[in-house]
Amino acid sequence: MHKDTDTHTNELFTQRRKLLLLPLALCLGDALAQSIPVPSTACPLNSGGPSLLGTRWRLYSIYGNRVPDSLVITMKVGMTAMEGVGGCNTYVARFIQVGNRGFKVTDISKTRTPCTAIRPAPGSPTVNVGSWEGSYLRVLRRAGSVQQLGATLQFYDFNGAASIIFIRSYGNRVSGEKENKEDKENKENNTDKEKTI
DSSP letter for each residue of 66-77:
EPPTT---EEEE
**Nearest CA to 73 among 144, 121, 127, 125?**
127
Model pLDDT, residue 102: 87
Query: What does the alpha-carbon distance between residue 78 and residue 54 come to, in Å, rounded to a whole number?
Result: 6
CATH number of the domain located at residue range(s) 55-168 in this protein: 2.40.128.270
pLDDT confidence tier of residue 196, bands split at 50, 70 and 90: very low
pLDDT confidence tier of residue 41, bands split at 50, 70 and 90: very low
pLDDT confidence tier of residue 136, bands split at 50, 70 and 90: very high
CA distances 31 to 28, 35, 36, 78, 98, Å, are 5, 9, 10, 31, 20
What sign has the CA pseudo-torsion 194, 179, 154, 107? positive
Instruction: Give yes or no for residue 193 having a pLDDT over 50.
Output: no
Query: What does the alpha-carbon distance between residue 78 and residue 94 come to, in Å, rounded to a whole number?
Result: 9
Query: Which tops the pLDDT comparison, 67 or 16?
Result: 67
Model pLDDT, residue 21: 53
Kindly list the domain boundaries of the chain, sorted by start residue.
Answer: 55-168
Instruction: Give yes or no for residue 11 having a pLDDT over 90.
Output: no
Model pLDDT, residue 47: 63
CA 1 to chain centre: 72
Calculate the average pLDDT of the chain.
Answer: 78
Do 147 and 154 contact (CB within 8 A), yes or no? yes
Query: What does the alpha-carbon distance between residue 129 and residue 163 come to, in Å, rounded to a whole number?
Result: 19
Worst-scoring range by mean pLDDT, 24-28, 103-107, 140-144? 24-28
C-alpha torsion angle, residues 168, 170, 174, 180 (rounded to 10): 130
